[in-house]
Amino acid sequence: MTADEIRRAVVRISHEIVEKQAGTSGLALVGIQRRGVPLAQRIAEAIEEHEGARLPVGALDITFYRDDLSMIAQQPVVKGTDLPFDLNGLTIVLVDDVLYTGRTIRAAMDALVDFGRPQAIRLAVLVDRGHRELPIRADHVGKNVPTSREEVVRVHLAETDASDGVEIERAPAGYGAPKVEAVG
Amino acid sequence: MSLAEPIAGTGTPIATGTPEVDAAPETQSVPWPHRHLLDVDGLSADEIDLVMRTTDAMREVLARPIAKVPALRGRNVTILFYEASTRTRVSFEVAAKNLSADVVNIAAATSSVTKGESLVDTVRTIEALGADMLVMRHPASGAPYLAAEIFGGSVLNGGDGWHAHPTQALLDLYTIRERLLPAPGAAPRTATASGQLLAGRKVVILGDLLHSRVARSNIWTLTAAGADLWLCGPSTLLRGFEAWASRGAAGRRFTVTSNIDAALRDADVVMALRIQRERMASGLLPSLREYAARYGLTRARLAAARPDALVMHPGPMNEGVEIAPDVAVGTNSVITEQVTNGVAVRMALLYLLAGVKS
């Protein structure tokens, strides 16, 4: 995807979110660290542009809720959670860059419900690349990208990576296999 | 893609060599190589900074409506204390429970230790009972090092004899960092390029240095952070520190003095230590009353320090001996903050150590 395609996808998702909710009341956006956070901000800005209402935006770090914490060699970086609103009764739209196995979203939902009881949780992603391992689907998708498991989807955003774009690459050999190192 | 799908692929066997994960989890910029936390002397400035930043994240967890995350679910944390303790033991227990670990508490006084079981046998037994992490306090300096040689998981030193109290030193550093350094946004709170977090700050440790494992661990972290460190007390309770200071080992420089007025002058931080009567051989002090009169941290003495100086105490306090009651609860006191930060620091350490496989 080019920067323009990303921009159009964000605008379309912003319209879909408002359409589904029939307005902006009771809505909040929560970006999943790390690239879900700037995407959530962009969606909020797009909604503000066409609806004139600024939605609350939060950031969610799912590190402590990962299902593989006991399997990886080094504890991952904790990038911080900031939910500056009471999410009881709100419709929360989770925002992430890529939907793949669904495990991140499972962790994010577990994390969210520890903060309160949202009225509903929806999911918006920039790219759905398939290969789900959990019964999870996205409500709003920027682009469906058929991939094989051997490929890597790289999303880069200006806020975190200097420019916008989505590319599919063949994974380098051994990429993604958790490093098992002798430590201690 | 960071956390987009980093937890993918765990349903299938890992480390097969075939790429199956979209992106590996974002690993620490500073690797954490330590399986045990026995003292702070083996920690680099970068690793200390990693502990501080992880503690920031844990503080956020503590502020949540449900201050509990599943990071250590299924891990057994056994807490073995051969000495009395309130805050360290409870703080470790709360920290482990906030991370959803299973916690087993063993007080030596009510265990088979009273039947003559050795430390080695006790540690083997604890491991056989399923402990993954062992938090221990022991009156003998070095005891956790012995435990670490036997135990298959991680050992965290909760205080050994006169030697070390690493979690206390790290929570003290975190408390100082929180209070002395600019708030987030104003300036980065992480270590500067030189690693000199507390450069130009005068920190005084006052009291019973001789018996203090807290002081011995704090000397490492505070000098590593670049503080202008002063140790002050009656000369009988400073034995050995002058020799250490004059060696200036590995760039660790500090000043040793019995002159409390010189020590407190313009201090940024004053840390009072408890007079450890239970470890005190006779003849070190004429009387507690004389100690309080000459070295007690009173409001009048504190006036020599900077007006916003932090007053710290690792606890438990003998109020009226090493610290006056009004100073202990005064506006400069961060003593209860130390206790609260202790939970977050211990959560951070349990989290980091749990990531290192044996």
Q: pLDDT by residue (tens digit) across B194-251?
A: 457 898 899 999 999 999 999 999 999 999 898 999 999 999 999 989 888 887 666 6
pLDDT at B187: 47
Task: Please state, in angstroms and rounded to a whole number, the distance separating the CA atoms of residues B277 and B325.
Answer: 19
How do residues A137-158 score in pLDDT, each as one tens digit? 999 999 999 999 888 899 999 9
Q: Among A61-75, A119-133, A136-150, B43-57, where is mean pLDDT lowest?
A: A61-75
* C-alpha dihedral, A102 to A108 to A110 to A113, nearest 10°: -140
Q: Which of A35, A111, A65, A7 is nearest to B4 (CA)?
A: A35
Q: Which ranges in B37-181 belong to alpha helices (H)?
A: 45-62, 87-98, 119-128, 143-150, 166-180
Which residues in chain B (207-246) have CB-CB distances under 8 A to chain A?
none
Q: What is the pLDDT of residue B28?
A: 61
**Res. A119: pLDDT tops 70:** yes
Whether A58 contacts A32, CB under 8 Å: no
Which residue type, as a one-letter code, is found at position B231? L
Fold observed for domain B68-164:
Rossmann fold (3.40.50)
B66 touches chain A (CB under 8 A): yes
Domain B193-336 in CATH 3.40.50.1370: yes
User: Residues A128, A138: contact at Cβ < 8 Å?
Assistant: yes
* CB proximity A113 to B under 8 Å: no
pLDDT above 90 covers a percentage of chain A that reads 77
pLDDT at B114: 83
* pLDDT greater than 70 at residue A73: no
What are the residue ranges of helices labelled H in A131-177? 158-161
- Give the per-residue pLDDT at B194: 47
| A171 contacts B19? CB cut-off 8 A | yes
Q: In this predicted structure, what is the pLDDT of residue A84?
A: 93
Residue A155 touches chain B, beta carbons under 8 Å: yes
CB contact under 8 A, B28 and A75: yes
In this prediction the ipTM stands at 0.82
A177–B19 CB contact, under 8 Å: yes
Contact A67 B7 (CB under 8 A): yes
Determine whether domain A3-170 maps to CATH 3.90.550.10: no
For A30, the token pair is 């929560």
DSSP assignments along B280-297, one per residue? PPTTS-S-HHHHHHHH-B
Contacts of B352 in chain A (CB under 8 A): 75
Residue type, B129: L
What residue type is B358 in one-letter code? S
Inform me whether the C-beta atom of residue B52 falls under 8 Å from chain A C-beta atoms: no
Of B4, B7, B356, the CB nearest to A35: B4
Test the A interface: residue of B14, B22, B99 with most A CBs within 10 Å: B22
Rounded CA-CA distance A29/A48 in Å is: 13
For A167, the 3-state DSSP assignment is strand
Residue ranges covered by each domain of chain B: 1-30, 68-164, 193-336
- The list of chain B residues with pLDDT below 70 reads 1-29, 182-195, 248-251, 358
Q: How confident is the model at residue A121 (pLDDT cuts 50, 70, 90)?
A: very high
- Compute the nearest-CA separation of B342 from chain A (Å): 19
Please tell me if the domain spanning B68-164 has the same topology as the one spanning B193-336: yes
In this complex, is the C-beta atom of A70 within 8 Å of any C-beta atom belonging to chain B?
A: yes
| Confidence at residue B244, expressed as pLDDT on a 0 to 100 scale | 83
Q: Where are the domains of chain A?
A: 3-170
Tell which A residues from 7 to 26 touch B, by Cβ distance under 8 Å. none
